[in-house]
Structure 1
Amino acid sequence: MLNFFARQSSSIKNDVLSGVTVALALVPEAIAFAFVAGVSPLIGLYSAFFIGLITAAFGGRPGMISGATGAMAVVVVALVAQYGVEYLFPTVILCGLLQIAIGIGRLGKLIRMVPHSVMLGFVNGLAIVIGLAQLGSFKTLSPAGDLVYLTGPRLGVMLALVALTMGIIWLLPRLTRAVPASLVAILTVTLLSIAINRSADTEGNMLATVGDMLRTNTQAAAIAEAKADAMALDSTMPVVHNVRFAAADEAVAASTAVSIDPTVVGEAATEESGISGGLPRLFFMEYEMVPMNFETLRIILPFAVVLCGVGLIESLMTLTLIDEITETRGKGNRECIGQGAANMVCGLFGGMGGCAMIGQSLINVNSGGRGRLSGITAAVCLLLFVLFLAPLIEQIPMAALVGVMFMVVIGTFEWASLKMVRRMPRSDVFVMILVSAYTVFMHDLASAVILGVIVSALVFAWQHATHLGAEVSLNEQGGKIYQLHGPLFFASVSSFKDLFDVANDPEDVVIDFYFTRVYDQSGLEAINTLAEKYESCGKRLHLTHLSSECRTLLDKAGDLVEINLSEDPQYHIATDRLA
């Protein structure tokens, strides 16, 4: 990565200012992911508050930012669409319980199994996804009710302010690090945007703001739903209306089934939009409670398991990335527990759940945030925006936030990986490209990581399947010694069997495991089978330097082989303390 994430010491001032910067960038992200999930913008904002606050205070990685994410939203949307938003909250609570159980079971250490090539692919793919996601900010609503890209002067002015934002973030640290460059860029471009919008002689704002983005997305969603409802009514199909767009539905009912007026529907939906709200309340005070029985558990359990896996994979990958940038070490198991507790509380207060946010975490690190106070500040500021400062926050131009995210993209992408391609093994290059491509085209970070780990494991197994060999010698008593070299596991069992000449070997045969290790049940079963063959020929098999765990598992061969205990070495194994 480029050196945008310079090493800085943690301080209260840096954490507070960085937290404010992150909070400003969290608003449009939380709103956008709420639309993806099919819930109201306030649910997304409340979720970002609870997830961000609790993980910052109790999670395993200071300086990492968590909130409502797209990875969780794409899972939630199917549940909300099929069963209703009432089923969402117990699902998020169950997801939190599962994550806490994984943390208590100390399974966060499994993140060590992610190869570096997968990490490279993940980071590069993520940078591309973040960059492509910003293109949606260059769209506006057409008279027909469709989202179209900006053209003409509006596009030119927005590109100019995006470039100005990026320029400030790049140049200001060379002059001073007293304040985060991202915060200065957002405030500067916001003031310019307000001046441009007030002086521009155009209908609506010349430069789109956060408020414009919210209204545009609300109108576009309402119009799309109205058109779908009209088509359904016209074909005498049953229609399920979304509570969030009740006003839009009334507008549709007043119109004909085949003709939709985008202006009428859009205005009706806009009346219900906004990020202003009160304090969050327990979900059963706002929504109808679902029955707590086996049928409900059958519905929510699959979604909760997927949410749990997606959330932890993305969070632990982000933790690893922040570890690398800050040259410190987070605690994976503690992060699992922190994420789980955050999702439990989030579900209780009617949230959509969440996990670590890589883009916002990088903004925080780039802005100097290193301690827990940065994440706590971001979460508290987000709630203050909802309670008191919504009109001001809605004036922030999208150009400023897009510029910040573009700098995150440049700083996130591993440009050095492009130079390393010629020196990397072809298998690692393939895995890196595969993970990047899957991340970009499928927008599923968790599945991309799992796919990369599986492919890397298969490549490793294939490459090491033929690495098993033996040096053969005779001892003073005339016995034959096979000193093994290489791993014995499922892929090398065939090579292991070919090493021995049971029919022509002497009565005593010794297999020396000093330079090898038995890794799985397939290897143990191969030893059992070989011992039976020697026994059937009236010959005796001796095993030396076999690890203690392998000795205890050789139950079937216990009466057929002689294991030399005095010469066996002690193997040192990584413990949970590292997690």
Structure 2
Amino acid sequence: MKFDLSNLRGDITGGITAGVVALPLALALGVASGLGPMAGMYGAIAVGFFAALFGGTGPQISGPTGPMVVVLAGLFASLSGDASLIFTAVILAGLLQIVFGVLGIGHYIRLVPYPVISGFMTGIGVIIIILQLNPVLGHASPSGTLGALGNIPEALSAIHPANLLLGIATLVMVYMWPAKWGRYVPSPLAALIVGTLVAYVALDVPVLGSIPTGLPELQMPVLGGDNMVLVIEAAIILAILGSLDSLLTSLVADNMTRTRHHSNKELIGQGIGNTAAGLIGGIAGAGATMRTVVNIRSGGQTRISGMAHSLVLLAVALGLGPLAENIPQAVLAGILVKVGLDIIDWKYLKRAHQGPRWDLLLMVLVLGMTVFVDLITAVGVGVVLAALAYVKQVAGLQIEHLRNLPEHLDSDEDKAILERNRDKIALFEFSGPLSFGAAADLGHHVREQSGGGAQVLILDFSSVPFLDVSAALAVETIASDAKSSSKRLLLAGMNDEVHKVLKALNGRIPAQGSYQTLSEALQAAEASLKESESGEPQSLPAAGAS
């Protein structure tokens, strides 16, 4: 594997800065997952190092993120804190991401519509904030969003004033920390240090307590048992969520560096990182937008910066335990509230009312399902509804432009033919791929528009690159209606693929004639009408027929 050393100084500077920023977040997210602060550290080290080494986005910094922790916290509650099964889910999620990358699924993950992503990420931000409300008030947070919300009245009736003030002060400090100071000491780290010192000297508030130090122990996956379904389900959610999160961050990095990432390679790198994290007792991670932005702004450009960030965290982790034991839970809760607020898509929410109403409704629906149902259902329902809405919109456009008047035609001769036989020839031209959404109304629309006087129907496929089974069956229905009403049906402009689909489903082309061009079909239709009016045997010209 080649390393670009042309920006070594910038990469090391960016990596060290990103590592300092990642430290308090790794500790806080580890605690939020239920597995403890060192699980957050080990996850940041493993995912950060291996995703950078094997991934496809040069300056990306990977590690524990809010969305991943929400899934892990739910799994922790469902499995009653069985760490071995949780780490098994992390390992399986990593393996799934590797499979995603090998199969080339990275290109498809990016096709999730923006309102779905916005609602999903906003919902995750809301969940993180809800889960931290009880710790800020001085109480342990019950498992699950609904449990945390249900416990808030009880927590409000017995507020721990010092804890609440410390949490609020932490949040204020993170927001108000001067930007010029942030170049040297990032606001989360400053809040962590100051909050811990103040609490140690003057306040009696809950702290993290005993933390193990040293190198992590190997965690072998545990397969089988009654809870395996929960583990597999969580692994799938983690894999999809981590892939989405990482590729979105990759797009941000691309915009900042004017480069282009490799989606599938990035998924393989993230998968290797998460597999390694699970094996050493770390929580799952993904590409982290804020840490990546910090790295780029500090000079990081290549994979070396991500690896340097992990080595900084490793050095800290080996001797951090005694220092981290006194970190107040309220300080970490305040930092996590900031994380949740940052995840909420304020930019879209401020202008959502100016866009399509359906997009806003979809975003709100996904947000609600993310908070009150579960993450995978929210994304699945959102994607399906967005796809159906898009198909309906495209189908409406296809049906709207189906009937064409003579002035639409390029050839004066074609216009003249259609003008002379305006009431006897009904021409329908399809624009673009003929989708199954349009197929449902195709036959009905043709019946309505052709009127009682039309004797010949022409379907022009010149602009149709392909059609699916639904559309082909709709053409068959039009042919059947034409036959029952004694009308002749001609097809024009079919390419080989369209011709093959129509013929394969019916055994033959469902029409009295098919022509390579629309002009040939119009000429044939007029000749047929003249024969009919003269009382001569009706036959369609063979020229150009297929």
TM (norm. structure 2) is 0.70
Contact 2:428–2:458 (Cα < 8 Å) also in 1: yes
Structure 1 521/98 Cα, relative in aligned 2: closer, same or farther at 3 Å? farther
Q: For 1:187 and 1:297, how far apart are their aligned partners in 2?
A: 38
Contact 2:192–2:332 (Cα < 8 Å) also in 1: no
Query: What does 1:60-71 correspond to in 2, within 5 Å?
Result: 60-61=56-57, 62-67=59-64, 69-71=68-70
Structure 1 401/297 Cα, relative in aligned 2: closer, same or farther at 3 Å? closer
Query: What does 1:114-513 correspond to in 2, within 5 Å?
Result: 114-140=112-138, 150-168=159-177, 171-173=178-180, 179-180=183-184, 182=186, 185-186=187-188, 188-189=190-191, 192-193=194-195, 195-197=197-199, 199-200=201-202, 204=204, 212=207, 214-215=208-209, 273-281=210-218, 283=220, 302=233, 304-320=235-251, 323=254, 329-351=260-282, 353-357=284-288, 371-396=302-327, 405=336, 412-442=343-373, 444-467=374-397, 468=399, 469-471=402-404, 476=417, 480-485=426-431, 488-501=434-447, 509-513=457-461
SS in 2 for 1:276: coil
SS in 2 for 1:556: helix
Count the aligned residue pairs: 473
Task: Report how far residue 276 of structure 1 moved.
Answer: 1.8
Contact 1:513–1:544 (Cα < 8 Å) also in 2: yes
1:345-404 per-position Cα deviation (integer Å, ceiling 9, x unaligned): 334445554444566556666877664344333433333333222222344556665565
Task: Report how far residue 29 of structure 1 moved.
Answer: 0.7
Residue 110 (str. 1) matches residue 108 (str. 2): yes
Query: What does 1:28-47 correspond to in 2, within 5 Å?
Result: 28-33=28-33, 35=34, 39=35, 42-47=38-43
**What residue ranges of structure 1 are gaps of 5+ in the alignment?**
1-8, 216-272, 568-579
Q: For 1:120 and 1:407, how far apart are their aligned partners in 2?
A: 18
Q: For 1:453 and 1:405, how far apart are their aligned partners in 2?
A: 29
Q: For 2:189 and 2:287, how far apart are their aligned partners in 1?
A: 26
SS in 1 for 2:427: strand
- Counterpart amino acid of residue 198 in structure 2: I
Aligned residue in 1 for 2:25: 25
Q: For 1:291 and 1:399, how far apart are their aligned partners in 2?
A: 38
Contact 1:486–1:517 (Cα < 8 Å) also in 2: yes
1:169-192 per-position Cα deviation (integer Å, ceiling 9, x unaligned): xx324xx77x3552xx35544554
- Counterpart amino acid of residue 101 in structure 2: G
Give the one of 91, 98, 101 matched to 2:99: 101
SS in 1 for 2:429: strand
Deviates more, 1:480-489 or 1:419-428: 480-489
* % identical equivalent positions: 27
Q: For 2:329 and 2:293, how far apart are their aligned partners in 1?
A: 19
Contact 2:196–2:326 (Cα < 8 Å) also in 1: yes
Q: For 2:232 and 2:371, how far apart are their aligned partners in 1?
A: 28
SS in 2 for 1:457: helix
Q: For 1:410 and 1:378, how far apart are their aligned partners in 2?
A: 24
SS in 1 for 2:109: helix
Contact 2:249–2:289 (Cα < 8 Å) also in 1: yes
Contact 1:421–1:429 (Cα < 8 Å) also in 2: yes
Q: For 1:119 and 1:290, how far apart are their aligned partners in 2?
A: 32
Q: For 1:191 and 1:347, how far apart are their aligned partners in 2?
A: 29
Contact 1:162–1:403 (Cα < 8 Å) also in 2: yes
Contact 2:63–2:284 (Cα < 8 Å) also in 1: no
Structure 1 369/152 Cα, relative in aligned 2: closer, same or farther at 3 Å? farther
- Counterpart amino acid of residue 19 in structure 1: G
Which is greater in Rg? 2
Deviates more, 1:365-374 or 1:103-112: 365-374
Task: Report how far residue 550 of structure 1 moved.
Answer: 3.5
SS in 1 for 2:396: coil
Aligned residue in 2 for 1:59: 55
Q: For 1:98 and 1:154, how far apart are their aligned partners in 2?
A: 41
Structure 1 155/481 Cα, relative in aligned 2: closer, same or farther at 3 Å? closer
SS in 1 for 2:442: helix
Q: For 1:522 and 1:312, how far apart are their aligned partners in 2?
A: 33
Task: Report how far residue 500 of structure 1 moved.
Answer: 3.0
Contact 1:281–1:349 (Cα < 8 Å) also in 2: yes
1:58-95 per-position Cα deviation (integer Å, ceiling 9, x unaligned): 2233324233732441564477459x655555554443
**What residue ranges of structure 2 are gaps of 5+ in the alignment?**
1-8, 141-153, 407-413, 519-546
Q: For 2:189 and 2:297, how far apart are their aligned partners in 1?
A: 17
Contact 2:163–2:330 (Cα < 8 Å) also in 1: no
Q: For 1:565 and 1:105, how far apart are their aligned partners in 2?
A: 40
SS in 2 for 1:488: coil
Aligned residue in 2 for 1:559: 508
| Aligned alpha-carbon RMSD (Å) | 4.3
Structure 1 135/492 Cα, relative in aligned 2: closer, same or farther at 3 Å? same
SS in 1 for 2:404: strand
Q: For 2:110 and 2:366, how far apart are their aligned partners in 1?
A: 17
Q: For 2:127 and 2:295, how far apart are their aligned partners in 1?
A: 19
Higher relative CO (Cα under 8 Å, sequence separation at least 6) belongs to 1
1:439-470 per-position Cα deviation (integer Å, ceiling 9, x unaligned): 3444x444433332222223233444433031
Give the one of 471, 481, 506 matched to 1:523: 471
Task: Report how far residue 147 of structure 1 moved.
Answer: 7.2
Contact 2:135–2:329 (Cα < 8 Å) also in 1: yes
Contact 2:216–2:281 (Cα < 8 Å) also in 1: no
Contact 1:282–1:350 (Cα < 8 Å) also in 2: yes
Structure 1 540/81 Cα, relative in aligned 2: closer, same or farther at 3 Å? farther
Structure 1 114/86 Cα, relative in aligned 2: closer, same or farther at 3 Å? closer
- Counterpart amino acid of residue 425 in structure 1: P
Aligned residue in 2 for 1:247: none
Structure 1 74/297 Cα, relative in aligned 2: closer, same or farther at 3 Å? closer
Contact 1:49–1:383 (Cα < 8 Å) also in 2: yes
SS in 1 for 2:439: helix
Task: Report how far residue 497 of structure 1 moved.
Answer: 0.5
Structure 1 117/321 Cα, relative in aligned 2: closer, same or farther at 3 Å? farther
Q: For 2:54 and 2:123, how far apart are their aligned partners in 1?
A: 29
Q: For 1:553 and 1:75, how far apart are their aligned partners in 2?
A: 49
Task: Report how far residue 22 of structure 1 moved.
Answer: 0.9
- Counterpart amino acid of residue 167 in structure 1: M
- Counterpart amino acid of residue 196 in structure 1: V
